[in-house]
Amino acid sequence: MASPCKHLRKHKPDLVKVYKSLCERLVYPATFSDLSHKASFWCCLVCKSKDNPLLCCCLECIYFACLDNQHLKQHFDEKGHKFALSLETGHIYCSECNDFIYDRDCEYARRDAENAHRKLMGFSLNYTWNPGKQEVDQIKQARKRVIRMSSKTTYGLRGLVNLGNTCFMSCILQALTHTPLLRDYFMTDQHRCIPKGVDQCLMCEMAHLFQEFYSGKNTPHIPFKMLHLVWTHARHLAGYEQQDAHEFFIAALDVLHRHSRSSAMARNPQECQCIIDRIFTGKLQSDVTCMSCGGVSTTLDPYWDISLDLGTQTAATGFSDALLCPVDQAVAPASLADCLERFTRPENLGSSAKIKCGRCDTYEESTKQLTLRMLPIVACFHLKRFEHSSKLHKKINDFISFPQYLDMTPYTAIYRDHSAAPEAHQAALLSSRQSLDRIKNKYALFAVVNHHGTIEGGHYTCYIRQHVDDWYKCDDHIISRASLDDVLASQGYLLFYHKQFLDYD
């Protein structure tokens, strides 16, 4: 296939070999030796910067320079060169096009190099879909039937009538209906239910809710059937008293998970591939290390959300439906990053909680560390604002800052576990993992649920993202415009982040 860039076509025979070699050695090294070389070569020859994500290498003379600081342009002007390789992504930059360009042959070489590197790192491999002529023709025909919507369309925005202290449900339904992959699933009619179960199936009602939201109607929707089904299948939530939004979220996912399995039953229940597990399930790694012999006992547990403590008092060490965060007794967290750092910090279990070591065959003191083994597509963080103890019950109103974009790399097991590599290669290995995961583990905020009031009672509202940059506040049946500043300045109770880069099986 010819390159879309006319400037690359005549230079391609000479550049493709150089491109392939640089990809294999500097962008996606396949050996520990090349990892060390990569760490030493990654430096702009003008400003000496080592961490600029727009650092490039000239493909015609092997010159390293920053793209955003005009250093690469200066080199191109002096030497008359045109093409460079991004050391961050492996993509080709053309100075004549003033943009990164696509070439199928080079993309094949880049993907092969990336997979060899991922194998070295212990990651799963990436696969690509390259449509044939028949598939391309079908896509072109389908495009003619697509209804193009304005970026300012209000399709998908709809208020929900409060049926009596049901603001907690309204907020969670708004978050779910604005979850991109869940929307795509239901709007393409992928759920199949046995006929006799339709009236009792929460998945079917969820599909109906999506149809209502994207019908173009602007009158508030009355979710009476949704409420009835939740009461039927999660009886602890039945009744008109105020319920907890987080508790409703977990209960709703559980019922949706059970009802979706009728159309996506996994042979192994632990490896369910229903749409709920595909989107919301992650895996938590717990490493208990014997302080006597250094032996490590590792367990993996699935999770749908992560509950993060905000207080400074010692919390229970048990785990329930959500994951409880180990607490630093000295300083309360000020940001989501603080909470996550505390969550993945090693914790000394102390002499009162000795564990029998399989190696020592005796009860020994140990440390425990939680890390994220597998990241979900949608990450939900529950900020534990309601504190219950034997002495008091209160709501924690401390402001916890949270970002629009979140990099989950520092909290993953693969990031923390690089000690198996030879000591001489550890720094290069860690740098390479950071580079590889910088894109793959990035998340974008798309919904925030807030609680207003006290622990005795209050009201829930939420912010949801529509399109890329438009935010709206949902207060039951009232939908109003909001700014990103409004969202980030809110208190935050449930934070919903969507993965920006998806790996397709």
Please classify residue 59 by burial: count the beta carbons closer than 10 Å to its beta carbon, then call 0-12 exposed, 13-18 middle and 19+ buried. buried
CB 217 within 8 A of CB 158: yes
3-state secondary structure of 155: coil
CA atoms within a 13 Å half-sphere pointing along the CA-CB vector of 423: 0
Residues contacting residue 444 through CB under 8 Å, at least 6 positions apart: 404, 405, 406, 465, 497, 498, 500
Choose, from 11, 208, 459, 477, the residue flagged as catalytic: 459
Active site residue 167: yes
Which has the closest alpha carbon to 74: 99, 95, 59?
95
Phi and psi at residue 366, to the nearest 5°: -150, 170
Of the listed 167, 272, 325, 357, which one is catalytic? 167
* 3-state SS track over 446-459: EEEEEEEECCCCEE
Which pair of tokens denotes residue 133? Answer: 């002529």
Q: Are 403 and 319 in contact (CB under 8 A)?
A: no
CA distance 198 to 224: 16
Beta strand segments in 169-326, E: 282-290, 296-303, 306-309
Per-residue buried b or exposed e for 364-397, using 16+ beta carbons within 10 Å of the residue's own CB: bbbebbbbbbbbbbbbbbbbbbbbeeeeeeeebe
d(CA 102, CA 91): 8
Asked about 459 being catalytic, the answer comes back as yes
153 backbone dihedrals φ, ψ, rounded to 5°: -60, 150
Cβ–Cβ < 8 Å for 290, 360: yes
Known catalytic residues?
Answer: 167, 459
